[in-house]
Amino acid sequence: MNSVKNIEIKKRAESNLWLDSWRKFKRDRPAVFGAIVILIIALAVIFAPFIYTTPADKIDFMASSAPPSWQHPFGTNDLGQDQLARILQGGRVSLTVGIASMLVAILLGTVIGAIAGFYGGIIDGILMRITDLFLALPQLPLLLLIVYLFRDSVKKIAGAELGVFILIVLLIGGLNWMSVARLVRANFLKLREMEFISAARAIGAKPSRLIWTHLFPNVLSVIIVAATLSVGNAIITESTLSFLGLGFPPDVPTWGRMLFEAKDYLTSAPYMAFFPGMAIFLTVLSINYIGDGLRDALDPKS
């Protein structure tokens, strides 16, 4: 009977914690603004192509570099392709890369940080030295080098689009897990010395149960914030690769690729760079606002 009551009390406490966090988040105007903007962008890139049916790959040299109009609200590029349709299609690619890369980074960082923080000692030392090694690597030059060396091989195995997608996601995620690992490790080191962990050990809880049942839920808020900020970083990195010509194939209109194509028309057709640049700016800014809002809302000290 007592155990049932304890479970009910725990569930109520967790429910109140999330409700309090939601109330704090709603009072943060930049975070709410970011959530609204990112929701609009996500809905637009998912559903707008079913409404705005202009093909993104249709070439019309008669309408080359046309300014914004009713027929082409964001204008056209040098091939006469509709910019709005390309931004909507590229948004799906950019957001998918950002979310997938975030999942890779969070998974690696959480596992490594949890093992290092829970076991400590030699294991902690080895894993943290590996983390320091990855932190010391120059990220962008390394990304460019690996993509340049392995892009063609991956294309032959998995196809042009899927192969590049997998390569970019694994690279971005594999080079951005270190901050998550350090955050998780620091929280595990603090939490493992607390009384509820000692009590769980006393009743015979196994290490795996201690990590994932008792410790992991207590660092979930930190992981959520890190995951949110990681999406924006991944979108910027993918856009940089595409801008430098080492991202997706030319027929895949990512936002970075559109900026790359517009760089030669900045004086004659600045709108070719303005709209994809604004899409990147608003997306990353909104995600960062959401991350800051979540950090404040989920902070138990506040």
Q: Given this model, what pLDDT does residue 16 score?
A: 67
Could you read off the pLDDT of 190-202 as tens digits, one per residue?
A: 888 888 888 888 8
Tokens of 131: 């983390």
Q: How many angstroms separate the CA atoms of 246 and 69, rounded?
A: 32
Q: How many angstroms separate the CA atoms of 40 and 102, rounded?
A: 21
Asked if 176 and 233 count as a contact pair (C-beta separation under 8 A), the reply is: yes
- The alpha-helical segments, DSSP class H, found in the chain are 2-27, 29-51, 83-119, 121-136, 139-158, 160-174, 178-191, 195-202, 207-209, 220-243, 255-262, 271-297
Asked if 125 and 196 count as a contact pair (C-beta separation under 8 A), the reply is: no
Confidence of residue 302 (pLDDT cuts 50, 70, 90): low
pLDDT at 43 > cutoff 60: yes
Q: What is the mean pLDDT of residues 11-18?
A: 58
Q: How many angstroms separate the CA atoms of 214 and 232, rounded?
A: 30
pLDDT at 261 > cutoff 70: yes
Domains and CATH numbers, the chain: 14-44+84-297 (1.10.3720.10)
Could you read off the pLDDT of 77-97 as tens digits, one per residue?
A: 888 888 999 999 888 988 999
DSSP bridge partners of 76: 82
